[in-house]
């Protein structure tokens, strides 16, 4: 009996606390509205006056190069796999030295929702979103960007990362001086 009463009063206290929290949130919202009601409106005269967007703003996508000037993209298709609207396509090819690259690389910006998932997934930091958002076109076909439209001559946001150095360039998949990888089958009993 005593336990039941204790439980009920605990429930009531929690309900009261929850109610106060909601009231606080509502009054907070009203206070913000009132604060802005008496402020002078700020109208930006775009396009004459342009706001500088943060570096991480998600706009037009580029394909960057590593610090040596080589294409970073190794056509692993991770960006394409993660893209929720399937707007990235490419074909992989291999250079004479065994390094992979994208023979062609296409982004359909008419479908892109600038979510940034491709950038998150890219292991080489090749694909990057930029703050440039001025890419409206009358014809949706003009929003099909090919590799030559996407590939830039700089490293983008990261000026030092070199995927090939990071993962090894000596032999395929090895750094110079690195021991050869262990064959997991030799560990079998």
Is 165 a residue that touches ligand SF4 (CB under 6 A)?
no
At 144, list the tokens.
């099909």
By residue count, the chain amounts to 189
Q: Which of 116, 151, 161, 169 binds ligand SF4 (CB under 6 A)?
A: 116
- What pairing do the DSSP bridges indicate for beta strands 100-108 and 144-145? antiparallel
Q: How far apart are CA 57 and CA 53, in angstroms?
A: 6
Give the nearest distance from C-beta 63 to ligand SF4 in angstroms.
Answer: 6
Positive or negative, the Cα torsion across 33, 54, 109, 102? negative
x/- contact string, 29-68, with ligand SF4 (CB under 6 A)? ----------------------------------------
Give the nearest distance from C-beta 86 to ligand SF4 in angstroms.
Answer: 8
Q: Which of 62, 112, 150, 155 binds ligand SF4 (CB under 6 A)?
A: 112
The DSSP call for residue 142 is: G
Contact 134, 96 (CB under 8 A): no
Stretch of residues binding ligand SF4 (CB under 6 A), selected from 13-21, 35-43, 78-86, 175-183: 78-86
Q: What is the dihedral of CA 118, 120, 124, 128, to 10 degrees?
A: 60
Q: How far apart are CA 187 and CA 182, in angstroms?
A: 9
Q: Which of 13, 113, 135, 152 binds ligand SF4 (CB under 6 A)?
A: 113
Residue count at the site for ligand SF4 (CB under 6 A)?
A: 26
Is 85 a residue that touches ligand SF4 (CB under 6 A)?
yes
Contact 163, 70 (CB under 8 A): no
Is 161 a residue that touches ligand SF4 (CB under 6 A)?
no
Which spans of this chain sit near ligand SF4 (rule: CB under 6 A)?
A: 73-79, 82-85, 87-88, 107, 112-118, 121-122, 124, 126-127
């Amino acid at each position: 009996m005593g336990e039941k009463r204790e439980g009920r009063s605990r429930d009531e206290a929690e309900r009261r606390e929850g109610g106060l929290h909601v009231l606080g949130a509502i009054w907070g919202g009203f206070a913000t509205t009132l604060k802005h009601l008496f402020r002078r409106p700020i109208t930006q005269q775009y396009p004459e006056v342009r706001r500088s967007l943060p570096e991480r703003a998600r706009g037009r996508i580029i394909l960057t190069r590593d610090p040596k000037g080589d294409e970073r993209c190794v056509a692993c298709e991770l960006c394409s796999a993660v893209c929720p609207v399937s707007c990235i396509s490419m074909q992989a090819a291999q250079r004479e030295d065994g390094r992979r690259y994208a023979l062609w690389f296409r982004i359909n910006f008419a479908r892109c929702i600038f979510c940034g998932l491709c950038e998150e997934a890219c292991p080489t930091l090749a694909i990057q979103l930029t703050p440039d958002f001025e890419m409206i076109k009358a014809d949706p076909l003009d929003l099909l960007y090919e590799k030559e439209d996407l590939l830039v001559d700089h490293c983008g946001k990261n000026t030092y990362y070199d995927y090939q150095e990071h993962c090894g360039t000596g032999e395929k998949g090895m750094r110079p001086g690195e021991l050869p990888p262990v064959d997991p089958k030799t560990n079998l009993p």
